[in-house]
Amino acid sequence: MKMAPKNMNLLVCTLFSMALLSLFPVHAGERGLAYISSQDGGVNVLDLDRMEITQTIDVGAKGPRGIGLTTDGKFLVVANKDGGNLSIIERSSGKLIKQVKIGKNPEFVRVMGDKAFVTYEPSSKGGPPPKPGEAVTKVEDDDDDNIPARIAIVDLKRGKVLREVVSGPETEGIEFSADGKQMIVTNEADHTITVHSLKTGKLLKTMPTSKFGDRPRGIKISPDGKTYVATLEFGNKVLVMNERFEAVTTFATGKTPYGISFDRSGQRIFVAASREKMLQVFDAKSFEKIKDIPTGDRCWHFTFTPDNQQILLACGKSDEIVVIDANKLEVTQRIANKGMPWGIVTYPKAFGSLDQP
């Protein structure tokens, strides 16, 4: 039977629409999705249209903490503390693609292009500790808090560790320079911020922080690429650096600041002050406090939603995601999330303490 032109056009349009829809996960709404790593569970998926958790992804190992996404949204990556590995997950289906062996206590993850940068603890065996920036090839079994941590660079397409960079003891945060040539890391145990060549891993600069405050943790670059801010957990301060990684000033925060981020405009700085149980907001020019927002217990990491209208804060000890209006700076909702939530990112990618577009 010959089909009428009108019906043929309708059929073609229908088939095209079905094909287009198949490119996106059916559970994703217009506002996107948030992915929450929980140390005592897997990764929960939060539908940002409904503000409900709709799925839990099994990462194939215990202790998921650090979490990141590739720019194209194809892969979700999770560092598993107890598994000593990195899970590579197909984001749209939630299917575990591969696990890559990293080492002891992998924790922090940053994704740049198709590579993941994963911090972990090395061994105390095998002679004297390597010098910061020195390339290493062998991972031992033991551990020593005084030994510099390492950053494994993982090719996500091949599911393989390309090489490793030695940083400082207990590396807690990773950021990249605006030109993509340097990697800046915070080293908690020896109170330093180190700058490395992204290409070679070579140590380019070491900045001691003790005269400003101890235990640097979170670090973030401003949207214009001219300023870096780092939280000093035991100093109850934020250290401000210029694009040459020189200290400019500090400003006071509440107790034990960790996660930090600018907003998309670069006009405000947000700091998760964990023991203060506050998300604190500061003017990014004057560094004067704008507001304290009450949160929950042990809130370390947070993200804006892709439309920049809300902030999602992962609070590990109160097992919840605190939702904050990014304009009114008020808590609007609390979403239960069992299993000690640790990190949170969104797709489409948004500004936050663990990620940025």
3-state secondary structure 260-318: EEECCCCCEEEEEECCCCEEEEEECCCCCEEEEEECCCCEEEEEECCCCCEEEEEECCC
Residue 49, pLDDT > 50, answer yes
CA dist., res. 89 & res. 169, Å (int):
29
pLDDT digits (tens, 9 = 90+) for 90-141: 999 999 999 999 999 999 999 999 999 999 997 533 333 344 444 443 333 3
Give the residue from 299, 228, 295, 320 showing the smallest Cα distance to 257.
299
Higher per-residue confidence, 132 vs 86: 86
Q: What's the rounded mean pLDDT across residues 31-51?
A: 97
CB 25 within 8 A of CB 93: yes
pTM (two decimals) = 0.86
CB 259 within 8 A of CB 300: yes
The secondary element (H helix, E strand) that includes residue 7 is: helix 5-21
- The confidence score (pLDDT) of residue 28 equals 56
Residue 338, pLDDT > 60, answer yes
Which domains does the chain carry? 30-169 (2.130.10.10)
* Beta strands per DSSP E along 148-234: 150-155, 160-166, 171-176, 182-187, 192-197, 203-208, 216-221, 227-232
Pairing assessment for the beta strands 237-242 and 247-252 based on DSSP bridges = antiparallel
pLDDT digits (tens, 9 = 90+) for 288-316: 999 999 999 999 999 999 999 999 999 99
Residue 6, pLDDT > 70, answer no
- The confidence score (pLDDT) of residue 58 equals 95
Residue 11, pLDDT > 70, answer no
- The confidence score (pLDDT) of residue 123 equals 55
pLDDT digits (tens, 9 = 90+) for 165-213: 999 999 999 999 999 999 999 999 999 999 999 999 999 999 999 999 9
pLDDT digits (tens, 9 = 90+) for 255-273: 999 999 999 999 999 999 9
